[in-house]
Structure 1
């Protein structure tokens, strides 16, 4: 059923004359008659009776009118639900406890009037495809991994460089250090289960290993952050890297230590990705907020891979 014929029917029913309905819809009276006739053919009933004073609804027309009004209301709600500015801003933050989650919480506090939908997508290909299809409006990622440039219609801006820290248990050989240089980490086993081959963070840690001769192990199943913290607390031979802005809570009895890494400090670069033609007004608000609250990039004494964009 064509909505324009339904809209014409309602206009004619309200006006009581095809001529007035035509004027309201900015079409000809003949077009109104054709649309009504087409709707009558679809429904198999007469909707109007022509009189000298105009057009009056038949019994079938009276029965159909409230449903026709509801059809138009539903159509209007459907359009509003996807129109930029009338639906929540949908943003991918990868994980609930990471830096991107903190950035979005800060944005929500600063702009509580902005409706948000937060999603967590695992890999960058899925995120980029979702941006291009309009499923999401933006994603936080480290871009772009070697050999995988972003599509031309995807924009990005680097919003924060997150220093990595070393997380150890109380019995680890480095547990008492106030800070530790990257060179001093050589020979120590850094355990990071859950690194997905081909992901941007896998490329990041591959380059970190190659640059400084570190030993990063991604063996074993990834049972989540709680299991990781339990293992690090109980295993003196293992440590792990943790982003400075990652928010984790562990039992006091674990005795875990967070130790700054220096000379240089590896930083994980977080960028915001979006489609260059995305008109959602809250996206511009988010970008302005991140620009005003973000930190500098490539600071002295820090390290990122050469492929990180923008530099």
Structure 2
């Protein structure tokens, strides 16, 4: 159904006169008459009766009017969904409990006027394709993994270096330490069942193992973070790596027993000498015109912080800061 014709019908119904509807729509009265006639032919009914007072809706016109208004509202929503500056800013954060999620929550608190649509894509290939197609405006990733250079039309900037901490239960041999060096972790079992081969975080941890001779086990099903915390809390021989911003409610520096989710007595211990940091980067298409994307980038440039690069470690394939 032609929306200009429907818009003309609504204008005549609201003004009660063809001439006034023509002035409102900036067309001739003859054009209004032709549009209404075409709509009546398409519907097979009379919509208006001409009277000395103007144009009055017939019973069929009265029945059609609310649906015509809804057609116009749907059309406006459809255009707004893709019109730059009117549709929400669509951002991929990978996971709901990670550092990127925290960064976006901070952005929302600082800029509540920006409508956000947060999505979670898994594979970096899918995220990059979505950025290139305009399906999403930006994605948080650790780039670029070995053998995966970004396309030339994708821009990226490293926005946050998140220090890794060792997470242990209360009976772990290192639970009382205020900090541990990477060398002190050699020989300890670090369990990370969420590592998926082929992902950028798998490439990161593979390089971490190769660089420092660590033992990272990715065996067993991944039942989520709650199950991971329960297992680490109950198994003295196991520890895991946790990003500093992933679970900020956990105790640090050998906090008091019983602090943390459900009183598990978990410890979140800084790793030093050097500090492995997970490099979160923002990806976007260089031709993306969404005005809120520039607002997000400016916010991250000041709000997202990480340790000084001195004394830290990242794989050599990570984009520089």
Which bin holds the TM-score, normalised by the shorter protein? 0.7 to 0.9
State the partner residue of 1:192: 192
Superposition pairs of residues 244-259 of structure 1, within 5 angstroms:
244-247=244-247, 249-252=260-263, 254-259=264-269
Unaligned residue ranges in structure 2 (runs of 5+)? 251-259
Q: Quick one: structure 1 residues 57 and 245, their matched pair in 2 at CA, closer, same or farther if it must change by over 3 Å? A: closer
Distance 1:19 1:169, change over 3 A: closer
Matches within 5 A, 1:68-79: 68-79=68-79
**Structure 1 unaligned runs (5+)?**
none
TM-score (norm 2): 0.82
Superposition deviation, residue 62 in structure 1:
5.2
- Provide closer, same or farther for how the CA distance between residues 55 and 215 of structure 1 changes in structure 2, counting only shifts above 3 A: same
Q: Give 2:256's aligned residue.
A: none
Do residues 291 (structure 1) and 301 (structure 2) align?
yes
Cα deviation, 1:248-302, whole Å, max 9, x if unaligned, reads 54343x4332222222111000112233343433332222111112226761111
The answer to whether structure 1 residue 267 and structure 2 residue 280 are counterparts is no
Q: 2: CA distance between counterparts of 1:278 and 1:206?
A: 34
Distance 2:238 2:306 in 1: 32
- Residue matched to 1:150: 150
- Tell me if structure 1 keeps the 8 A contact 2:274–2:311: yes
User: For 1:172-191, what aligned pairs fall within 5 Å after superposition?
Assistant: 172-191=172-191
SS at match of 1:270: strand
Cα distance change, pair 42–167 in 1 and its aligned pair in 2 (3 A) = same
Q: Deviations over 1:64-98 (max 9, x none)?
A: 34443342233224433554444443333222322
| 1:201-253 deviation line (CA, Å, top 9, x unaligned) | 0010011111222111100011112221222222232221111111154343x
Query: CA deviation digits over 1:152-181, x for unaligned, max 9?
Result: 333322111011111223333333333222
